[in-house]
Structure 1
Amino acid sequence: MKLKDVFEKSVQFFKEKKIETARLDAELLISAALKFDRLQIYLKYEQPLSEAEVTACREVVRRRSQGEPVAYILGERGFYGEMFKVGAGVLIPRPETEMIVEEALEFLKTKAEHFTENNPPRILDLGAGTGCIGFSILKNHPTATLISVEKSPEAFSYLKQNQELLGLSDRSQLILADALDAQLSNQLSGPLSGQKFDVIVANPPYIASDDQQTEENVRKFEPASALFAPDAGFSALEQWSSHYQPALNAGGLMLFEMGYTQGLRMQAHFEGLASFANVQVLKDLSGLDRIIKALNN
Structure 2
Amino acid sequence: MKLKEILDKTTAFFKDKKIETARLDAELLLAHGLKLERIQLYLKFDQPMKDDELVILRELVRRRASGEPVAYILGYRDFFKYRFEVSPAVLIPRPETEHIIEEVLSWNSDKEASLGFMDLGCGSGCIGLTLLKEYPQAKLLAVDLSEKALEVASKNAEALGVADRVKFLHADAAQEDVLMSTYMGFVGKNKVDALVSNPPYIAHQDNQVEENVKKFEPNSALYADDNGLALLKSWSRIYGNHLSPSGLMLMEMGMSQGAAMKEHFNSLKIFNEINVVKDLASHDRVIRGVTHG
Interval containing the TM-score (normalised by the shorter chain)? over 0.9
Deviations 1:7-28 (A, max 9, x none): 2221111011110111110000
Instruction: Report what 2:89 is aligned to.
Output: 89
2:114 corresponds to 1:123:
no
The amino acid across from 1:107 in the alignment is W
Instruction: Report what 1:107 is aligned to.
Output: 107
> Structure 2: how far apart are the matches of 1:267 and 1:56?
50
The amino acid across from 1:279 in the alignment is I
CA RMSD between the two structures: 1.6
Instruction: Report what 1:66 is aligned to.
Output: 66
Q: SS where residue 233 of structure 1 aligns? A: coil
Higher deviation after alignment, 37-46 or 78-87: 37-46
Instruction: Report what 1:78 is aligned to.
Output: 78
Q: Superposition pairs for residues 165-176 of structure 1, below 5 Å? A: 165-176=159-170
> Structure 2: how far apart are the matches of 1:9 and 1:154?
37
Q: Tell me by how many angstroms 1:270 deviates.
A: 0.5
Instruction: Report what 2:251 is aligned to.
Output: 256
Higher deviation after alignment, 240-249 or 274-283: 274-283
2:146 corresponds to 1:146:
no
> Structure 2: how far apart are the matches of 1:96 and 1:226?
16
Gaps of 5+ in 2: none
Instruction: Report what 1:290 is aligned to.
Output: 285
Q: SS where residue 213 of structure 1 aligns? A: coil
Instruction: Report what 1:17 is aligned to.
Output: 17
Q: Tell me by how many angstroms 1:29 deviates.
A: 0.2
Sort the Cα spacing of 1:182 and 1:145 in 2 relative to 1 into closer, same or farther, 3 A: closer
Sort the Cα spacing of 1:182 and 1:275 in 2 relative to 1 into closer, same or farther, 3 A: closer
Q: SS where residue 293 of structure 1 aligns? A: strand
Q: Which of 157, 182, 186 pairs up with 1:163? A: 157
Q: Percent identity?
A: 48
Q: Superposition pairs for residues 237-248 of structure 1, below 5 Å? A: 237-248=232-243
Q: Which of 114, 126, 132 pairs up with 2:126? A: 132
Sort the Cα spacing of 1:265 and 1:104 in 2 relative to 1 into closer, same or farther, 3 A: same
Q: Normalized against structure 1, the TM-score is what?
A: 0.93
> Structure 1: how far apart are the matches of 2:86 and 2:74?
8
2:233 corresponds to 1:233:
no
Checking the alignment, whether the CA contact within 8 Å between 2:176 and 2:238 is kept in structure 1 is: no
Instruction: Report what 1:265 is aligned to.
Output: 260
The amino acid across from 1:65 in the alignment is A
Higher deviation after alignment, 22-31 or 133-142: 133-142
Q: Normalized against structure 2, the TM-score is what?
A: 0.94
Name the count of aligned residue pairs: 288
Deviations 1:196-236 (A, max 9, x none): 11100000010011111110000000001111111110011
Q: Tell me by how many angstroms 1:172 deviates.
A: 1.2
Q: Which of 182, 185, 196 pairs up with 1:191? A: 182
Checking the alignment, whether the CA contact within 8 Å between 1:122 and 1:197 is kept in structure 2 is: yes
Checking the alignment, whether the CA contact within 8 Å between 1:185 and 1:243 is kept in structure 2 is: no
Q: SS where residue 242 of structure 1 aligns? A: helix
Instruction: Report what 1:217 is aligned to.
Output: 212
Checking the alignment, whether the CA contact within 8 Å between 2:193 and 2:243 is kept in structure 1 is: yes
2:173 corresponds to 1:179:
yes
